[in-house]
């Protein structure tokens, strides 16, 4: 159901009204149901933006790089939406707030929309909210959506999973970058940018990255991960990086993988929503007499373990998909 107010908001969002977009994302951030209702109204307008994920350890220069990528896209006449998401512990918030300052030059440009998200909700909530925001920015007509996350933990991976192309930014002389390589995250990105390429240890990091890549299993999409050197503060390497982003996108499109990835994202999101709502319904069922309450009481009394109880709930409360 779309309320009259939501209907008006959706129409303004699709027409490219920045304030309607900002308000829509706030709604999606605080009330997933209302957010999905909005997305429902604008869903037919989605699927046109290119989605670029930018991730890497704190201090690698992600925001500066996004700043120069944004400038280059603007110079090419494209509009850009930037979504910065910080799902990690409160310990990194300071860094993220500092990073935002580097995007200031774009704040007054109508062709650039910048948004930060750092709400800590229930598990998975932020990745879901980021996905909603991405769909809304897409529906508002931005040509490119850049999704930035700090770090590369599971929550970040879930967020950049929403992108068609992921760039991992590493910086020389950083223990974090070496840890990232050791932890085997080389399988996540399509492109690796070694930023601060003027650093004395830049060559060493590039060699280290290439050696790790040579050991990593080849991805299903047959794309060979390139390593590009950048100096985001002077926009060095930005052109090369963007060319690689476009090349990767073309590579996926040629193999039908761009659509396939979009389908997988939408499928995962749909099934996650269904499961989440099933859980909420069970949760409200726990309050009144019925199968759910009975099973939970048996778990409490140690007559039934949680897994056996879950099986009983599934047996009793779901039907087979037999159409």
Q: Give the residue with the Cβ less far from a copy of itself, 11 or 76.
A: 11
Among 198, 203, 204, 300, binds a copy of itself (CB under 8 A): 300
Q: Residue 46 interacts with a copy of itself (CB under 8 A)? A: yes
| Residues numbered 236-275 forming contacts with a copy of itself, rule: CB under 8 A | 262-263, 266-267, 269-275
**Smaller CB separation from a copy of itself, 4 or 122:** 122
Residue among 18 and 264 whose Cβ is closer to a copy of itself: 264
**Per CB under 8 A, does 11 bind a copy of itself?**
no
CB of 77 to a copy of itself, least distance (A): 26
Q: At its nearest, how many Å lie between a copy of itself and the CB of residue 194? A: 17
Piece of 226-234, 238-246, 248-256, 315-323 that binds a copy of itself (CB under 8 A): 315-323
Q: What is the DSSP letter of 151?
A: B
> What Å distances lie between residue 68 and 55, 64, 93, 273, CA to CA?
15, 6, 23, 36
**Cα 109 to Cα 107: distance, rounded to the nearest angstrom:** 6
Applying CB under 8 A, among 11, 18, 76, 93 the residue interacting with a copy of itself is: 93
Taking CB under 8 A as the criterion, the residue among 65, 127, 129, 206 binding a copy of itself is 127
Question: With respect to a copy of itself, which residue has the nearer C-beta, 223 or 278?
Answer: 278
Number of residues that bind a copy of itself (CB under 8 A): 87
Q: Cβ(250)–Cβ(165) under 8 Å? A: no
Residues in contact with 148: Cβ distance below 8 Å, sequence separation at least 6, in sequence order? 53, 54, 55, 62, 63, 66, 82, 83, 84, 85
Write the burial class of residue 19 (CB in 10 Å: 0-12 exposed, 13-18 middle, 19+ buried): exposed
Residue 95, Cβ density class (10 Å: 0-12 exposed, 13-18 middle, ≥19 buried): middle
Residue 139 sits in the site that holds a copy of itself (CB under 8 A): no
Q: How many CB atoms neighbour CB 279 within 10 A?
A: 9
The Cα 11–Cα 55 span in angstroms is 33
If one asks whether residue 84 binds a copy of itself (CB under 8 A), the answer comes out as no
Q: How far apart are CA 289 and CA 311, in angstroms?
A: 19
If binding is defined by CB under 8 A, does position 294 make contact with a copy of itself?
yes
| Of 83 and 304, CB closest to a copy of itself | 304
Piece in contact with a copy of itself (CB under 8 A), picked from 9-17, 208-216, 225-233, 278-286: 278-286
Q: What residues numbered 197-216 form the site for a copy of itself, per CB under 8 A?
A: none
Hey, what are 61's tokens? 């220069």
Residues ≥6 apart with Cβ < 8 Å to 132? 25, 28, 32, 35, 36, 39
**In whole angstroms, what separates CA 9 from the centre of its chain?**
24
Q: Which is nearer to a copy of itself, 247 or 268 (CB)?
A: 268
Binding mask 156-195 for a copy of itself (x = CB under 8 A): x-x----------------xx--xx-xxxx----------
């Amino acid at each position: 159901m779309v309320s009259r107010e939501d209907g008006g908001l959706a129409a303004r969002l699709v027409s490219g009204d920045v304030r309607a977009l900002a308000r829509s994302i706030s709604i999606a951030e605080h009330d997933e149901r209302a957010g999905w209702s909005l997305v429902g109204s604008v869903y037919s307008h989605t699927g046109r933006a290119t989605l670029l994920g930018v991730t890497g350890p704190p201090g690698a220069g992600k925001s500066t790089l996004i700043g120069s990528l944004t400038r280059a896209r603007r110079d090419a006449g494209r509009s850009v939406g930037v979504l910065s998401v910080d799902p990690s512990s409160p310990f990194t918030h300071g860094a993220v707030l500092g990073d935002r300052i580097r995007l200031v030059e774009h704040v007054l440009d109508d062709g650039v929309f910048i948004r930060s998200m750092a709400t800590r909700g229930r598990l998975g909530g932020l990745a879901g909210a980021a996905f909603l925001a991405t769909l809304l920015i897409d529906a508002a007509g931005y040509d490119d959506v850049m999704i930035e996350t700090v770090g590369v933990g599971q929550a970040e991976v879930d967020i950049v999973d929403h992108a068609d192309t992921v760039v991992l930014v590493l910086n020389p002389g950083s223990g974090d970058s070496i840890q990232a390589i050791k932890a085997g995250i080389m399988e996540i990105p399509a492109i690796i940018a070694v930023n601060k390429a003027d650093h004395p240890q830049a060559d060493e990091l590039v060699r280290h990255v290439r050696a790790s890549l040579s050991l990593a299993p080849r991805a299903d999409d047959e794309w060979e991960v390139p390593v590009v050197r950048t100096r985001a503060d002077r926009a060095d390497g930005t052109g090369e990086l963007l060319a690689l982003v476009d090349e990767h996108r073309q590579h996926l499109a040629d193999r039908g993988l761009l659509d396939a990835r979009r389908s997988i994202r939408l499928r995962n999101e749909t099934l996650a929503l269904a499961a989440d709502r099933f859980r909420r319904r069970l949760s409200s069922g726990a309050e009144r007499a019925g199968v759910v309450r009975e099973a939970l009481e048996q778990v409490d009394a140690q007559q039934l373990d949680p897994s056996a109880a879950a099986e009983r709930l599934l047996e009793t409360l779901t039907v087979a998909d037999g159409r």
